Structure 1
Amino acid sequence: MDQVVFLLVVGGRFVLPLLIPRYPLPAIIACLVLDGVDQTIFQLFGYDPPGYQSYDKAMDIFYLSIAYLAAMRNWDNLGAFAVARFLFYYRLAGAFLFELTHERWLLLAFPNTFEYFFIAYELVRTRWRTRPISQRAWILTAAAIWVFVKLPQEYWLHVAELDVTDTLRDYPWTRWALAIAIVGGLAILWYVVRPRLPRPDHPVLLGAGPVPAAVDTVTDLAALRVGGGWVWSWMTVEKVVLVGLVSEIYGQFLPGMTQDNLELFVAVGVLVVVNAGITLLASRRRWTIESASYAVLARIATNVALVFAADLFLGRSAAGWDTFFFLCLISLVTTLHDRYQPVYAYRHREAAAAAPK
């Protein structure tokens, strides 16, 4: 039974993030909640998964990566996206260093500010237009989250190594303190913050909304790729760094991994570049797949064939399940990046063209 519970929880932590690009706020909150209760669920069923800390950080990075790619597609405020990009890669670097050293203070030095910043942006977007908000306001928002929310939280969890569930159980008075804090916070939001908010620009918006018409279909995206010739480009460099670091983090705790860090990063990087070349070739031939799900499956099949052919050519033994997992991970992230980065690039180009000379 405990193994079934573990598989259900892990499955949920892989599936829920896939909803973030279309339903950013509800999906990331669901991911946040599951992240917060998964260990409690394991304990309720008497299961203590080995290497939980590494597993937890890897799953966190997975859904944060999908959230980052979703921001690339959905956010029309480029200043806010620039802040989010820094916060995401800062945390990604910290998570990678933590997996290499297992020094818990690194999680305090590299706090996960990106997650709450993403939530803050999406909360604003539910009722107001985000484009008019200045980058300075977004930087101040990120700074406030960093100092007043994430630093105390990261210290509590990773330096003091305290658990909310255990604290509430061992010190009953903390339940009343938590209840008072929640009620007080809600009262401040309702009676102090709410009356001072500007008039909403639109009804409650939980879906992602449309992208610019010029990049609304995979045919449009293909034409943009052909025009940019995106293989040897910053777009590919970012994919190599993103997929490489995420793969390194997973590679630290998967039991069947035998490659060292550099070997894994180079192998992943080569495959990402090959995928970029195949994508550009397919775009030139107008071989496009409208469905993102089918596109991911097609890329998985292509990557499996590439690895199988490489094994035959090099005379190596057939790859195992860990390799297949990495191929699925690489295929998913690169497919989403290929579809969402051109949307950001288009917005960036339009903003540059509209800027006063």
Structure 2
Amino acid sequence: MPETSDLFIFWAVVAARFLIPLTIPSYPLPGIILSLVLDMVDQTLFQEFTNLPLVDYQEYDKALDIYYLAITYLSTLRNWSNFFAFEAGRFLFYYRLIGVAIFEITHLRLLLLIFSNVFEYFFIFYELVRLKWDPKVLTKDRLITATAFIWVFAKLPQEYWIHIAQMDTTDWIRANPSNVIVLIAWAALLIFLGWWLLRDLPPMRPGLIIAASYKHFPFYSLHARNIRDNYTSQRFFDDFLHYELIEKIVLVSLLSTIFAQILPEVRASSFQVAIGLSILIIINTELSQWFARRGTHWKSIIQEFIVMSVVNFGIVLAYDFLITRFDGSINLLDASFFILLLTLNVTLYDRYRRWQIWSQAEMDVFADQNKQIKAAD
């Protein structure tokens, strides 16, 4: 039996890995850096301060990595004004997500090298630029070049080191302190490549933009209200055919597949979990449309999360009541975890996707106005 102190440290680290990423939408760079640092040191914390066996650490680590990467991706819906950067980030995120889902099923380490986590460093690169420049200075060519540099010079060596060679950097340096020179040289190369990418950008603006720069759409704005009502008045089956619902199902299904591999009491297959959560997502979408048609618009994301969590728990409890009549059962503890995971991601996706649509609509209006002004001149 693990000691009480060991369990306290374990759950404190797990709680931190779940809570810290929630700062990313509001404070992207500090949030992702803290999440990344905690990801790097948690194994060392367990080794130094607990006697816990770390046999399943790889699965646990990859699942929590994907959790904070999902929050990171959802924050780009809310915050990123460079649409090509958003599209590139979305591809890189789902590329990694698919690779980790397959890895959790097959445990083939080579997959973590092939499906390298380029999205994380791509996100950091974008947010570093946003500190001092308008992200629109990142052209398609510059973003593609940055992605290639990150993939080849940063992530491939790192993924090989961690997952194929299975080397621990701390132990490697302890064995030969001069190895730190190699790390310094590698870091210097990455800094030089970053400087080369940004060498001809416009002059930097004063100060640092640390908090997220997103367009807030107050409900009392007439134009924002028209855009909002036009979006939310779509019928459910129209929305069903749009990629938003499909993307939510893919996102939550892949996340649930990954977490189903590390939760000890999950009896359902990954496919069964994905089907069950997909049905819940469809119900949630219909409920959201119903609320919107009745004029209910959430003023707080926390309020929306709590209400939808209660609704989803009610659905699961009703299902559990019915299935026991046919000698079936579900694990309510595991079901509760999946409900919270689903509700969090769907709530963030729905809210941030709406903001992205409204932001693009506003930009289109301003572009049309500028064209009309130029034509008049």
TM-score, shorter chain, exceeding 0.5? yes
Q: Say which of 343, 346, 351 aligns to 1:339.
A: 351
Aligned to 1:103: 108
Task: Give the whole-Å Cα distance in 1 for the aligned partners of 2:339 and 2:354.
Answer: 23
TM, length-normalised to structure 2: 0.86
Task: Give the whole-Å Cα distance in 2 for the aligned partners of 1:200 and 1:71.
Answer: 23
Deviation at 1:215, TM superposition (A): 7.9
Deviation at 1:102, TM superposition (A): 0.3
Task: Give the whole-Å Cα distance in 1 for the aligned partners of 2:196 and 2:256.
Answer: 45
Structure 1 pair 192–296 and aligned structure 2 pair: CA distance change class (3 A): closer
Q: What are the superposed Cα offsets for residues 171-204 of structure 1, whole Å, 9 maximum, x if unpaired?
A: 222134445665x569969999998653113420
Task: Give the whole-Å Cα distance in 1 for the aligned partners of 2:182 and 2:105.
Answer: 38
Aligned to 2:87: 82
Aligned to 2:44: 40
Aligned to 2:67: 62
Greater Cα shift, 134-143 or 189-198: 189-198
Greater Cα shift, 129-138 or 143-152: 129-138
One-letter amino acid of the counterpart of residue 272, structure 1: I
1:211 and 2:215 matched: yes
Structure 1 pair 127–216 and aligned structure 2 pair: CA distance change class (3 A): farther
Aligned to 2:264: 255
Q: Say which of 137, 144, 154 aligns to 1:149.
A: 154
Deviation at 1:50, TM superposition (A): 3.9
Aligned to 2:375: none
Task: Give the whole-Å Cα distance in 2 for the aligned partners of 1:216 and 1:148.
Answer: 49
Determine if contact 1:16/1:31 at 8 Å carries over to the other structure.
yes
Deviation at 1:49, TM superposition (A): 3.5
Paired residues for 1:207-246 under 5 Å: 207-213=211-217, 223-229=229-235, 231-232=239-240, 233-246=242-255
Show structure 2 runs of 5+ residues with no match.
372-377
One-letter amino acid of the counterpart of residue 274, structure 1: I
Other structure's SS at 2:265 match: coil
Deviation at 1:161, TM superposition (A): 0.8
Paired residues for 1:1-357 under 5 Å: 1-45=5-49, 46-179=51-184, 184=188, 198-213=202-217, 223-229=229-235, 231-232=239-240, 233-314=242-323, 315=325, 316-317=328-329, 319-349=331-361, 354=367
One-letter amino acid of the counterpart of residue 324, structure 1: S
Determine if contact 1:215/1:342 at 8 Å carries over to the other structure.
no
Structure 1 pair 215–254 and aligned structure 2 pair: CA distance change class (3 A): farther
Structure 1 pair 171–18 and aligned structure 2 pair: CA distance change class (3 A): same
Q: Percent identity?
A: 38
Q: What are the superposed Cα offsets for residues 241-300 of structure 1, whole Å, 9 maximum, x if unpaired?
A: 001100110001100100112111111111111111111111111223312122212111
Structure 1 pair 32–82 and aligned structure 2 pair: CA distance change class (3 A): same
Determine if contact 2:149/2:193 at 8 Å carries over to the other structure.
no
Determine if contact 2:82/2:135 at 8 Å carries over to the other structure.
yes
Determine if contact 2:265/2:331 at 8 Å carries over to the other structure.
no
Task: Give the whole-Å Cα distance in 2 for the aligned partners of 1:123 and 1:191.
Answer: 12
Other structure's SS at 2:358 match: helix
Greater Cα shift, 128-137 or 25-34: 128-137
Q: What are the superposed Cα offsets for residues 12-64 of structure 1, whole Å, 9 maximum, x if unpaired?
A: 00000100000000000000000000000000013234411011000000000
One-letter amino acid of the counterpart of residue 42, structure 2: D
Deviation at 1:212, TM superposition (A): 5.0
Structure 1 pair 111–194 and aligned structure 2 pair: CA distance change class (3 A): closer
Deviation at 1:142, TM superposition (A): 0.8
Structure 1 pair 54–151 and aligned structure 2 pair: CA distance change class (3 A): same
Greater Cα shift, 193-202 or 18-27: 193-202
Greater Cα shift, 78-87 or 165-174: 165-174
Determine if contact 1:224/1:342 at 8 Å carries over to the other structure.
no
Deviation at 1:159, TM superposition (A): 0.7
Determine if contact 1:222/1:286 at 8 Å carries over to the other structure.
no
Show structure 1 runs of 5+ residues with no match.
none
Other structure's SS at 1:175 match: helix
Deviation at 1:213, TM superposition (A): 3.2
Determine if contact 2:122/2:147 at 8 Å carries over to the other structure.
yes
The count of residues paired between Structure 1 and Structure 2 equals 355
Task: Give the whole-Å Cα distance in 2 for the aligned partners of 1:133 and 1:291.
Answer: 32
Q: CA RMSD in A?
A: 2.7
Task: Give the whole-Å Cα distance in 1 for the aligned partners of 2:137 and 2:196.
Answer: 24
